[in-house]
Amino acid sequence: MSETTQTTKLHSIRFSPDVLAKISPELSLQRHLSIGLRSNLRKFEEFKNVSLKETGTGRYDDDNNNNSCILGSSIVKSGSTTIICSISASLIEDELKSINDYSFKLDHDIISNDLQETINEDDDNSFESVYVTVKTHSGNGSKIPTLNEQNISQQLYDTIKHSKLIPSKSLKVNLGYLSNDEPTTTSTTTTTGGKKKFKFILRGDIEVWSCVGPIFDLCYASLIKSLKCVKLPLVYINEGLNDINTTSTTTSTAKRDLLSDSKIHYDLKLNTGKIGWCVTYGIVDIDSSVVNNTSDDDAMDVDDCKKSVLLADLEGESEDSIEKRMTVVRTKDGNLSQISICTDGGFKITKEIITRGLELSKRRCSDMINKY
Amino acid sequence: MSSININTGILEQVDGSCIFQINSTKIISSVTGPIESSRIKNEIPTRAYLDINIIPEKGVSSTRESLLETKLNKILKPMINLNLYPRQSIQIVIQVLKSGEFRDYSITELSTIVNCVYISLLNSGISLKSSFLSSCCVILQNNEIKLNPTIDDLKSCKSNHIAVFNLKNAKTDELIYCDSLGSFSDDQFFKVLNYCATDIEHNNEFIRKSIANTIEKDYIWKFQ
C-alpha cells in the first residue's frame, strides 16, 4: 500500500475595508479603533455637524398655503442624512374635561346644587405629547413600519411626554364665533361657554432619507424644531349651524361644524426650559487580542486604548453593530430629560464612562440648543 | 416595604413558567426552548434567536409593547448563553395580568417582567451567564426617591427610573440596563442607581429563598 499525501495550501483572503465592514463589522471596528481611527475619520468624541431649518411650507407661513394642514415643519441635515418633520393637528372632544365640567355634572345629577365644589378646569400638572410616525426611506419599498421605526416613534412620544414640554393648556381650544354681520368678515374670539371641551392632538410625520446610523437624535431634533414653529389655528363654530342647533329639538352637538381660520393663528406655547438636545454614544471595548498583527509602532496605541471608549454620533455599518449604547437628552435648564443605557455583556459600564458621557452631553447641549 | 409573591412551574406545556407579583403589578411568563426555529430567517448560525411576545393587560399589542419587547431583548441578550443553542429559538411569552400603572408609563411593568422572566428562565433550565434582577423607582416632587412606586406616585413624580443589575455572590455587580425619563439632575441619577442596586440585593434574598423552596419541593430531589 502506498500512501499518497496531498498538501493543500490555504491562502489568506484579503478584503477591502468596506467589504470587511459588511462581513465582520465587529472586527472592522476593532481594527480601526486600535489605531485610534474611526472609519469616518472623526475623532472618538467628535460630533457630526447638524443644520436645522424651518421649511416654511406651513399653513400660516405663506398666504398661498391656506389649504395646507401642516402647522409647523423643519428640515434637519447631518452628513448625508436628511430628515423632514411636519406637524399637523386634529381636533378631538376632551371627554375628561367635559365630564369634570361643573355644569355637566349638575345637569347629570352627579353633584347637587348645594355642593360647593370647585373644579379646576386647567390642570397645570398634565402634559401632552406628539403622536409620531417615522418613515425611513431605505429603498426596500415596504410600506409597513419596521420594528425600528415603531420603536423610535414610541420613544419620541415617551420622551416628549415625560419631559413635560407641552402643557395640556397649550392645546386647549378656545372656541370662537364667526361673525358675518359686517361686510368685512371677521371672526371674534368670544368663548362659547358650551359644555363640550375640545383640544388639539398633535401628529408628527418624520421622513428620513439616506440613514447611516442611529437616527433617534436627529428625529428628536427635527421634532423639537418643528414644535417650536407650530402655529395653531383659531377654531370657531359656524354661525349658521349654531342657530339651527339652538332652535332644533335634536341638539346633537356632534353635528356642530368646527372651522379653523385660514389666517388667524397663535403660537404653540412650550415649556422652553424643557427643550433639549439628544446625543447617542456607542460604548466600545478596545480588545487588543484582535489586533495582534499590528506593527510594533501601533502597539503603543493599543496599550493606551485598553479600556472602554465613547464614540459620538455613530455612523456606518461597523459602528451600527455596537450594541452597548448610551442615549442622553439634556434640557436647556441643565437637567436631564432621558438617559438610556444598555450593555452587550462585554466589559463593565463604569461610572467614569457614564460621567464622561454626561459631561459631553452638557457641552453639546449648550452648543446646539441655540440652533433651534 | 414591597410585597413580592412568586409562583413557579405553574404551566405544564412549557419548559419554564412563573407568576410574579410585586405590589399591584402582576405578570405571568412562560419560556419554551431551545426549540426549532419556526422561520428560516430566525435561524441564526452562531446563536439562538429570542422570540419575545408581550401581551398587554387590556386590548391588543401596540407600539408600546413593541418597545417593551425591544427593551427586554436588550436586557436578556447579554444574560443568556445564546451561543450554546445555535440555529434554535427561545420563545418567551409574557402576559400582563395587572399593570399597576398608566399606559404612559412602563417602568413597573418592565421591572416586573424582567424579574418574572428571570425566574421562568431558571425554571426552564436554560443556561444563563449570571443572575440578574430589576428595580424601579421615582423621584417625587420633594426630591425624595421612592422605590416600587404606586399609581399615585407615578402621577405626581418628577421622573421615573428603571435599572437592571447582574448579581455576583448575592451582590449587585454590573449595570445591565437603565432607562430614566422625566426631569432630574446628574447626581440624582447616580443616587437612583445606588437605590435600585440596594433594592435588588434586598429582593434577591427573598427570591433566592423562594427558588430554594421550590427546588426542595421538587420530587426529583427527594430520595426516600
B41 to A141, A249, B74, B84: CA distances (angstroms): 19, 63, 19, 19
Number of domains chain A contains: 1
Kindly state the percentage of chain A with pLDDT values over 90. Answer: 41
Query: Which pLDDT band holds residue A68 (cuts at 50, 70, 90)?
Result: confident
Q: pLDDT above 70 covers what percent of chain B?
A: 97
Q: Is residue A160 part of a domain?
A: no
Q: Is residue A8 part of a domain?
A: no
User: Which of B68, B136, B180 to probe the A interface (max A CBs under 10 A)?
Assistant: B180
Hey, are the CB atoms on B67 and A339 less than 8 Å from each other? no
Residue A105, pLDDT score? 58
Q: Are A147 and B70 in contact (CB under 8 A)?
A: yes
Distance from CA of A136 to the nearest CA of B (A): 17
- Chain B closest CA to A151's CA: distance in Å? 5
A343/B183 CB distance under 8 A: no
Mean pLDDT of B132-141: 96
B75 in reach of chain A (CB within 8 A): yes
Does the pLDDT at position B103 exceed 50?
Answer: yes
What is the DSSP secondary-structure string of A209-244? ES--S--HHHHHHHHHHHHHT-EEEEEEE-HHHHHH
Residue at A270 is within a domain: no
ipTM entry = 0.94
State the Cα–Cα distance between residues A337 and A327, nearest whole angstrom: 11
B67:A150 CB<8 A: yes
Give the pLDDT confidence of A313-340 residue by residue, as tens digits: 999 888 888 999 999 999 999 999 999 9
Cβ distance A147 to B104 less than 8 Å, yes or no, reads no
CB contact under 8 A, A349 and B185: no
Q: Which residues pair with B50 in a beta bridge?
A: B90
- Rounded to a whole number of angstroms, the distance from the CA of B205 to the nearest CA of chain A is 24
**Is A358 among the domain residues?**
yes
Task: Give the domain extent around A330.
Answer: 276-371
Q: Interior CA angle at B16 toward B109 and B5, to 5°?
A: 45
* Cα–Cα distance measured from residue B73 to residue A283, given in angstroms and rounded to the nearest whole number: 18
Q: Is residue A291 part of a domain?
A: yes
Which of chain B's residues have a Cβ under 8 Å away from the Cβ of A341?
175, 177-179
Q: Helix, strand, coil % (nearest 5) of chain A?
A: 30, 30, 40
Minimum-distance CB partner of B181 among A159, A323, A355 = A159
CA distance B165 to chain A (A): 11
CATH of the domain at B87: 3.30.230.70
Task: Please name the residue of chain B whose CA is at the shortest distance from the CA of residue A361.
Answer: B186
Average pLDDT over residues B120-140: 95
**Distance, CA of B31 to CA of B92 (rounded, Å):** 5
Which among B72, B159, B160, B165 is the top mutation candidate for probing chain A, defined by the most A β-carbons within 10 Å of its own β-carbon? B159
Residues of A in contact with B129 (CB under 8 A): 345
What is d(CA A120, CA A100) in angstroms, rounded to the nearest whole number? 9
Of B32, B33, B30, the closest CA to residue B17 belongs to B30
The alpha carbon of residue A88 is apart from the nearest alpha carbon of chain B, in Å, by 20
**What is the four-CA torsion angle of B98, B104, B107, B113, rounded to 10 degrees?**
40
Average pLDDT for B123-152:
94
What is the maximal distance between C-alpha atoms in chain B? 59
**B185: domain range?**
4-221
The residue whose grid cell reads 411568563 is B29
Q: How far is CA B136 from CA A204, A266, B221, in A?
A: 30, 40, 35
Residue A163 and residue B74: Cβ atoms within 8 Å? no
Q: Which one is predicted more confidently, B208 or A62? A: B208
Is the Cβ pair B63, A153 closer than 8 Å?
yes
The number of domains in chain B is 1
Distance CA A55, CA B138 (A): 39
Across-strand partners of B134?
Answer: B164
Reduced 3-state DSSP string for A321-337: CCCCEEEEEEECCCCEE
Asked if the Cβ–Cβ distance from A343 to B104 is below 8 Å, we say no
Distance in Å from the first CA to the final CA of chain B: 39
B160 close contact with A: CB closer than 8 A = yes
Helix (H) or strand (E) holding A90: strand A81-93
CB–CB contacts below 8 A, A to B: 89
- C-beta neighbour count of B72 within 10 angstroms: 21
- Using an 8 Å CB-CB cutoff, list residues of chain A that contact chain B: 125, 147, 150-151, 153-155, 158-159, 161-164, 274, 323, 331, 333-345, 348-349, 351, 354-355, 358
User: What's residue A255's pLDDT?
Assistant: 52
What does chain A come to in residues? 372
Exposure of A290 by Cβ count < 10 A (0-12 exposed, 13-18 middle, 19+ buried)?
middle
Q: Are A198 and A94 in contact (CB under 8 A)?
A: yes
Q: Is residue A234 part of a domain?
A: no
pLDDT at residue B76 is higher than 70: yes
Average pLDDT, whole number, for chain A? Answer: 80
B34 cis-preceded (ω within 30 degrees of 0) = yes
Kindly state the cell numbers that stand for B65. Answer: 409593547
CB contact under 8 A, A336 and B129: no
Note the pLDDT of residue A4.
65
Instruction: Provide the shortest C-alpha distance from residue B181 to chain A (in Å).
Output: 5
Taking 70 as the threshold, does the pLDDT of residue A81 lie above it? yes
Residue A296 clears pLDDT 50, i.e. is over it: no
- For chain A, counts of helices (H) and of strands (E): 10, 15
User: Could you count the other beta carbons within 10 Å of the beta carbon of residue A114?
Assistant: 6
- Please give the grid coordinates belonging to residue A45: 468624541
> What does the pLDDT read at residue A189?
47
Dihedral, B127, B129, B133, B138 alpha carbons, nearest 10: -130
A271 found inside a domain: no
Using CA coordinates, name the residue in chain A closest to B164: A342
User: What is the secondary structure of chain B as a DSSP string?
Assistant: ---EEEEES--SSSSEEEEEEETTEEEEEEEEEEEE-SSGGG--TTSPEEEEEEE-SSS---HHHHHHHHHHHHHHTTTB-GGGSTTEEEEEEEEEEE--S-TT--HHHHHHHHHHHHHHHHHHT--BSSEEEEEEEEE-TTS-EEES--HHHHHH-SEEEEEEEEEETTEEEEEEEEEEEEEE-HHHHHHHHHHHHHHHHHHHHHHHHHHHHHHHH-GGG---
Q: What is the pLDDT of residue A186?
A: 47
What whole-number distance in Å separates Cα of residue A162 and Cα of residue A276?
12
